[in-house]
Amino acid sequence: MSGIRHFLTLLDFTPSELEHLIQRAIDMKQEHRAGNDQRGFPGAVLAMIFAKSSTRTRVSFEVGMAQLGGHAMFLSPQDTQLGRGEPVEDSARVISSMVDIVMIRTFGHDIVERFAARSSVPVINALTDDYHPCQLLADMQTWVEHRGSIKGKRACWVGDGNNMCQSYINAARQFDFELTIACPPGFEPDSQLLAQNSDRVRIEHDPSTAAAGVDLVVTDVWASMGQESEQQERAALFAPYQVNAELMSRAASDALYMHCLPAHRGEEISAGLMDSPDTVIWDEAENRLHAQKALMEMLLLASR
Protein backbone atom coordinates (compact mmCIF):
# COMPACT_ATOMS: atom_id res chain seq x y z
CA MET A 1 0.00 0.00 0.00
CA SER A 2 2.97 2.32 -0.54
CA GLY A 3 2.22 5.76 -1.91
CA ILE A 4 -0.84 6.30 0.29
CA ARG A 5 -0.31 9.07 2.82
CA HIS A 6 -1.63 8.63 6.34
CA PHE A 7 -1.81 11.04 9.28
CA LEU A 8 -1.11 8.97 12.38
CA THR A 9 1.19 11.47 14.10
CA LEU A 10 2.51 14.94 13.23
CA LEU A 11 5.72 13.26 12.10
CA ASP A 12 3.92 11.87 9.03
CA PHE A 13 4.10 15.34 7.44
CA THR A 14 7.12 17.56 6.95
CA PRO A 15 7.32 20.89 8.81
CA SER A 16 6.72 22.64 5.49
CA GLU A 17 3.63 20.52 4.74
CA LEU A 18 2.29 21.27 8.20
CA GLU A 19 2.85 24.99 7.72
CA HIS A 20 0.95 24.87 4.41
CA LEU A 21 -1.81 22.84 6.01
CA ILE A 22 -2.32 25.40 8.78
CA GLN A 23 -2.43 28.23 6.24
CA ARG A 24 -4.91 26.28 4.11
CA ALA A 25 -7.08 25.74 7.20
CA ILE A 26 -7.08 29.48 7.87
CA ASP A 27 -8.00 30.18 4.24
CA MET A 28 -10.75 27.54 4.20
CA LYS A 29 -12.23 29.06 7.35
CA GLN A 30 -12.45 32.46 5.63
CA GLU A 31 -13.86 30.90 2.45
CA HIS A 32 -16.49 29.07 4.48
CA ARG A 33 -17.44 32.25 6.32
CA ALA A 34 -17.73 34.06 3.00
CA GLY A 35 -20.24 31.44 1.89
CA ASN A 36 -18.05 29.91 -0.83
CA ASP A 37 -18.93 26.50 -2.21
CA GLN A 38 -16.27 24.08 -0.93
CA ARG A 39 -17.71 20.88 -2.38
CA GLY A 40 -14.52 19.76 -4.11
CA PHE A 41 -15.03 16.05 -3.38
CA PRO A 42 -18.55 15.08 -4.46
CA GLY A 43 -19.32 11.48 -3.65
CA ALA A 44 -16.27 11.01 -1.41
CA VAL A 45 -16.97 8.87 1.65
CA LEU A 46 -15.24 9.13 5.03
CA ALA A 47 -15.50 6.13 7.38
CA MET A 48 -15.35 7.28 11.02
CA ILE A 49 -14.46 4.46 13.42
CA PHE A 50 -15.03 5.46 17.05
CA ALA A 51 -14.05 3.07 19.84
CA LYS A 52 -14.15 5.99 22.33
CA SER A 53 -16.62 8.83 22.94
CA SER A 54 -16.43 12.15 21.10
CA THR A 55 -18.24 15.42 20.55
CA ARG A 56 -15.81 17.70 18.68
CA THR A 57 -14.09 15.05 16.60
CA ARG A 58 -17.28 13.46 15.38
CA VAL A 59 -19.05 16.72 14.63
CA SER A 60 -16.05 18.35 12.95
CA PHE A 61 -15.25 15.38 10.69
CA GLU A 62 -18.86 14.74 9.75
CA VAL A 63 -19.63 18.42 9.08
CA GLY A 64 -16.28 18.86 7.34
CA MET A 65 -16.90 16.01 4.93
CA ALA A 66 -20.41 17.32 4.18
CA GLN A 67 -18.95 20.75 3.42
CA LEU A 68 -16.41 19.13 1.08
CA GLY A 69 -19.33 17.59 -0.82
CA GLY A 70 -18.92 14.06 0.49
CA HIS A 71 -20.53 11.82 3.06
CA ALA A 72 -19.37 10.57 6.47
CA MET A 73 -20.28 7.19 7.95
CA PHE A 74 -20.15 6.55 11.71
CA LEU A 75 -18.93 3.08 12.68
CA SER A 76 -18.55 1.84 16.25
CA PRO A 77 -17.01 -1.46 17.35
CA GLN A 78 -20.29 -2.25 19.16
CA ASP A 79 -22.22 -2.33 15.88
CA THR A 80 -19.55 -3.71 13.54
CA GLN A 81 -17.62 -6.97 13.41
CA LEU A 82 -14.60 -5.07 14.80
CA GLY A 83 -16.17 -5.50 18.23
CA ARG A 84 -16.68 -9.23 17.65
CA GLY A 85 -13.07 -10.03 16.94
CA GLU A 86 -12.72 -9.55 13.17
CA PRO A 87 -9.02 -8.73 12.73
CA VAL A 88 -8.13 -5.05 12.28
CA GLU A 89 -6.20 -6.01 9.12
CA ASP A 90 -9.21 -7.71 7.51
CA SER A 91 -11.48 -4.80 8.47
CA ALA A 92 -8.98 -2.37 6.95
CA ARG A 93 -8.91 -4.23 3.63
CA VAL A 94 -12.67 -4.38 3.39
CA ILE A 95 -13.57 -0.89 4.63
CA SER A 96 -10.85 0.81 2.57
CA SER A 97 -12.02 -1.02 -0.56
CA MET A 98 -15.32 0.88 -0.34
CA VAL A 99 -14.53 4.33 1.09
CA ASP A 100 -12.13 7.14 0.15
CA ILE A 101 -10.66 8.01 3.53
CA VAL A 102 -10.81 6.62 7.08
CA MET A 103 -10.68 8.25 10.50
CA ILE A 104 -10.10 6.16 13.64
CA ARG A 105 -10.40 6.96 17.34
CA THR A 106 -9.31 4.04 19.47
CA PHE A 107 -7.18 2.84 22.40
CA GLY A 108 -3.83 1.33 21.37
CA HIS A 109 -1.82 3.33 18.83
CA ASP A 110 -0.84 0.03 17.22
CA ILE A 111 -4.44 -0.35 16.05
CA VAL A 112 -4.27 2.72 13.77
CA GLU A 113 -0.83 1.60 12.56
CA ARG A 114 -2.10 -1.89 11.74
CA PHE A 115 -5.19 -0.50 10.03
CA ALA A 116 -3.10 1.95 7.97
CA ALA A 117 -0.67 -0.80 6.95
CA ARG A 118 -3.53 -2.68 5.23
CA SER A 119 -5.59 0.30 4.07
CA SER A 120 -5.75 1.27 0.39
CA VAL A 121 -6.93 4.79 1.35
CA PRO A 122 -5.57 7.47 3.74
CA VAL A 123 -6.05 6.85 7.46
CA ILE A 124 -6.30 9.66 10.02
CA ASN A 125 -5.60 9.18 13.73
CA ALA A 126 -8.48 10.89 15.53
CA LEU A 127 -6.97 10.05 18.96
CA THR A 128 -5.25 7.04 20.42
CA ASP A 129 -3.89 6.45 23.91
CA ASP A 130 -0.57 7.86 22.62
CA TYR A 131 -1.35 10.74 20.24
CA HIS A 132 -4.04 13.22 19.16
CA PRO A 133 -2.47 14.94 16.13
CA CYS A 134 -5.71 16.45 14.73
CA GLN A 135 -6.07 18.50 17.91
CA LEU A 136 -2.60 19.91 17.37
CA LEU A 137 -3.55 21.11 13.89
CA ALA A 138 -6.39 23.07 15.49
CA ASP A 139 -4.16 24.34 18.30
CA MET A 140 -1.45 25.50 15.90
CA GLN A 141 -4.06 27.15 13.65
CA THR A 142 -5.44 28.97 16.70
CA TRP A 143 -1.98 30.14 17.71
CA VAL A 144 -1.17 31.40 14.21
CA GLU A 145 -4.51 33.24 13.96
CA HIS A 146 -3.94 35.06 17.24
CA ARG A 147 -0.17 35.43 17.44
CA GLY A 148 1.48 34.59 14.09
CA SER A 149 4.32 32.09 13.83
CA ILE A 150 5.03 29.89 16.86
CA LYS A 151 8.65 29.33 15.78
CA GLY A 152 11.02 30.05 18.65
CA LYS A 153 8.22 30.58 21.19
CA ARG A 154 7.99 28.89 24.58
CA ALA A 155 5.08 26.65 25.54
CA CYS A 156 4.31 24.92 28.81
CA TRP A 157 2.27 21.75 29.19
CA VAL A 158 0.64 21.43 32.62
CA GLY A 159 -0.82 18.11 33.79
CA ASP A 160 -0.71 14.52 32.62
CA GLY A 161 1.99 13.33 30.21
CA ASN A 162 -0.80 11.92 28.04
CA ASN A 163 -1.71 11.67 24.34
CA MET A 164 -2.10 15.46 24.05
CA CYS A 165 1.19 16.10 25.86
CA GLN A 166 2.97 13.66 23.54
CA SER A 167 1.43 15.37 20.53
CA TYR A 168 2.76 18.69 21.88
CA ILE A 169 6.24 17.12 21.97
CA ASN A 170 5.89 16.26 18.28
CA ALA A 171 4.52 19.74 17.60
CA ALA A 172 7.50 21.37 19.34
CA ARG A 173 9.75 19.49 16.95
CA GLN A 174 7.72 20.06 13.76
CA PHE A 175 6.75 23.70 14.43
CA ASP A 176 10.07 24.57 16.07
CA PHE A 177 9.19 25.79 19.58
CA GLU A 178 10.36 25.01 23.11
CA LEU A 179 8.22 22.95 25.47
CA THR A 180 8.41 22.60 29.24
CA ILE A 181 6.28 19.86 30.77
CA ALA A 182 4.96 20.29 34.32
CA CYS A 183 3.55 16.93 35.38
CA PRO A 184 3.42 15.14 38.73
CA PRO A 185 6.33 12.72 39.18
CA GLY A 186 5.31 9.38 37.72
CA PHE A 187 3.08 10.92 35.04
CA GLU A 188 5.77 11.86 32.53
CA PRO A 189 5.30 11.23 28.80
CA ASP A 190 7.11 8.36 27.08
CA SER A 191 10.81 8.44 28.02
CA GLN A 192 12.01 7.56 24.52
CA LEU A 193 9.96 10.36 22.99
CA LEU A 194 11.41 12.75 25.57
CA ALA A 195 14.96 11.57 24.86
CA GLN A 196 14.46 12.02 21.10
CA ASN A 197 13.39 15.63 21.66
CA SER A 198 15.66 16.61 24.54
CA ASP A 199 17.00 19.56 22.52
CA ARG A 200 13.68 21.40 22.90
CA VAL A 201 11.57 19.56 25.48
CA ARG A 202 12.23 19.30 29.21
CA ILE A 203 10.42 18.23 32.37
CA GLU A 204 10.01 20.73 35.22
CA HIS A 205 7.77 19.26 37.89
CA ASP A 206 6.96 22.58 39.55
CA PRO A 207 4.21 24.26 37.48
CA SER A 208 5.03 27.75 38.68
CA THR A 209 8.67 27.43 37.59
CA ALA A 210 7.65 25.73 34.34
CA ALA A 211 5.23 28.52 33.39
CA ALA A 212 7.64 31.40 34.08
CA GLY A 213 7.70 33.71 31.06
CA VAL A 214 6.11 31.24 28.61
CA ASP A 215 4.00 32.30 25.62
CA LEU A 216 1.49 29.44 25.72
CA VAL A 217 0.10 27.31 28.56
CA VAL A 218 -1.76 24.11 27.67
CA THR A 219 -3.60 21.59 29.77
CA ASP A 220 -5.99 18.64 29.47
CA VAL A 221 -8.02 16.35 31.73
CA TRP A 222 -6.19 14.53 34.51
CA ALA A 223 -7.76 11.17 33.66
CA SER A 224 -8.15 10.38 29.97
CA MET A 225 -10.70 8.10 28.35
CA GLY A 226 -9.95 4.59 29.56
CA GLN A 227 -8.54 5.85 32.90
CA GLU A 228 -11.89 6.61 34.55
CA SER A 229 -11.14 4.28 37.50
CA GLU A 230 -8.06 6.38 38.36
CA GLN A 231 -10.00 9.68 38.42
CA GLN A 232 -10.15 10.10 42.22
CA GLU A 233 -6.59 9.06 42.92
CA ARG A 234 -5.32 11.34 40.16
CA ALA A 235 -7.41 14.31 41.34
CA ALA A 236 -5.47 14.34 44.62
CA LEU A 237 -2.06 14.01 42.96
CA PHE A 238 -2.78 16.59 40.25
CA ALA A 239 -4.37 19.25 42.50
CA PRO A 240 -1.27 21.53 42.40
CA TYR A 241 -1.38 21.41 38.58
CA GLN A 242 -4.42 23.57 37.90
CA VAL A 243 -4.15 26.20 35.17
CA ASN A 244 -5.67 29.31 36.74
CA ALA A 245 -5.18 33.07 36.92
CA GLU A 246 -2.36 32.72 39.43
CA LEU A 247 -0.41 30.34 37.19
CA MET A 248 -1.10 32.52 34.13
CA SER A 249 0.34 35.51 36.02
CA ARG A 250 3.69 33.67 35.90
CA ALA A 251 3.55 33.46 32.07
CA ALA A 252 4.28 36.26 29.58
CA SER A 253 1.77 39.10 29.81
CA ASP A 254 0.26 38.25 26.39
CA ALA A 255 0.38 34.47 26.91
CA LEU A 256 -2.48 32.32 25.61
CA TYR A 257 -3.85 29.23 27.28
CA MET A 258 -5.46 26.30 25.50
CA HIS A 259 -7.45 23.18 26.37
CA CYS A 260 -8.58 20.57 23.84
CA LEU A 261 -11.86 20.03 25.74
CA PRO A 262 -13.88 18.49 27.28
CA ALA A 263 -12.78 20.40 30.41
CA HIS A 264 -13.43 19.91 34.10
CA ARG A 265 -13.83 23.38 35.62
CA GLY A 266 -12.18 23.51 39.04
CA GLU A 267 -9.85 20.59 38.26
CA GLU A 268 -7.23 21.02 35.52
CA ILE A 269 -8.51 24.52 34.65
CA SER A 270 -10.28 27.16 36.74
CA ALA A 271 -13.83 28.23 35.93
CA GLY A 272 -12.50 31.79 35.71
CA LEU A 273 -10.19 30.97 32.79
CA MET A 274 -12.74 28.74 31.04
CA ASP A 275 -15.41 31.42 31.20
CA SER A 276 -13.16 34.40 30.49
CA PRO A 277 -14.50 36.47 27.55
CA ASP A 278 -11.10 36.59 25.85
CA THR A 279 -10.21 32.91 25.99
CA VAL A 280 -9.26 31.34 22.63
CA ILE A 281 -10.49 27.91 23.74
CA TRP A 282 -13.70 28.17 21.67
CA ASP A 283 -11.73 29.16 18.55
CA GLU A 284 -9.51 26.17 19.25
CA ALA A 285 -12.56 23.88 19.29
CA GLU A 286 -14.06 25.39 16.12
CA ASN A 287 -10.73 25.12 14.33
CA ARG A 288 -10.99 21.33 14.48
CA LEU A 289 -13.48 21.71 11.62
CA HIS A 290 -11.31 23.93 9.45
CA ALA A 291 -8.02 22.15 10.13
CA GLN A 292 -9.48 18.72 9.38
CA LYS A 293 -11.11 19.95 6.18
CA ALA A 294 -7.66 21.09 5.06
CA LEU A 295 -6.23 17.74 6.19
CA MET A 296 -8.85 15.69 4.30
CA GLU A 297 -8.39 17.85 1.21
CA MET A 298 -4.64 17.29 1.29
CA LEU A 299 -4.91 13.52 1.80
CA LEU A 300 -7.66 13.06 -0.79
CA LEU A 301 -5.75 15.08 -3.41
CA ALA A 302 -2.59 13.06 -2.68
CA SER A 303 -4.43 9.76 -3.16
CA ARG A 304 -6.04 10.68 -6.51
The footprint of ligand NVA on residues 242-271 (CB under 6 A) is: 260
Residue 180 binds which one of ligand CP, ligand NVA, none, with CB within 5 to 8 A depending on kind? none
**Residues 185/189/191/196 CA torsion (nearest 10 deg):** -130
Apex 163 CA angle, 260 and 60, nearest 5: 40
* Cα separation values, 98 from 47, 73, 119, 122, 167, Å: 9, 12, 11, 12, 30
CB of 13 to ligand NVA, least distance (A): 21
C-alpha count within 13 angstroms, C-beta hemisphere, residue 251: 24
Q: Which is nearer to ligand NVA, 73 or 225 (CB)?
A: 225
In the chain, the amino acid numbered 179 is L
Q: Which is nearer to ligand NVA, 21 or 127 (CB)?
A: 127
Residues 6 or more apart whose CB falls under 8 angstroms from that of 79 comprise none
CB of 108 to ligand CP, least distance (A): 17
Chain position whose Cβ is nearest to ligand NVA? 224
Pick from 255, 227, 105, 257: nearest CA to 160: 227
Give yes or no: 134 in active site: no
Residue 123 binds which one of ligand NVA, ligand CP, none, with CB within 5 to 8 A depending on kind? none
For 101, other C-beta atoms within 10 Å of its C-beta total 27
In terms of phi and psi (left: phi > 0; alpha: psi -120 to 50; beta: otherwise), the region of 69 is left
CB of 126 to ligand CP, least distance (A): 7
Residue 55 binds which one of ligand CP, ligand NVA, none, with CB within 5 to 8 A depending on kind? ligand CP
Answer yes or no whether residue 225 interacts with ligand NVA by CB under 6 A.
yes
Q: Which is nearer to ligand NVA, 164 or 296 (CB)?
A: 164
Sequential DSSP letters for 229-252: GGHHHHHHHHGGG-B-HHHHTTS-
Question: CA 291, CA 140: separation in Å to the nearest integer?
Answer: 9
Could you tell me which stretch among 148-156, 228-236, 254-262, 289-297 binds ligand CP (CB under 6 A)? Answer: 254-262
Could you tell me which stretch among 51-59, 108-116, 172-180, 293-301 binds ligand CP (CB under 6 A)? Answer: 51-59
Could you tell me which stretch among 9-17, 43-51, 158-166, 204-212 binds ligand NVA (CB under 6 A)? Answer: 158-166
Q: Point out which residues bind ligand NVA (CB under 6 A).
A: 127, 132, 162-164, 220-221, 224-225, 260
Task: Supply the residues annotated as catalytic.
Answer: 105, 132, 135, 220, 260, 288
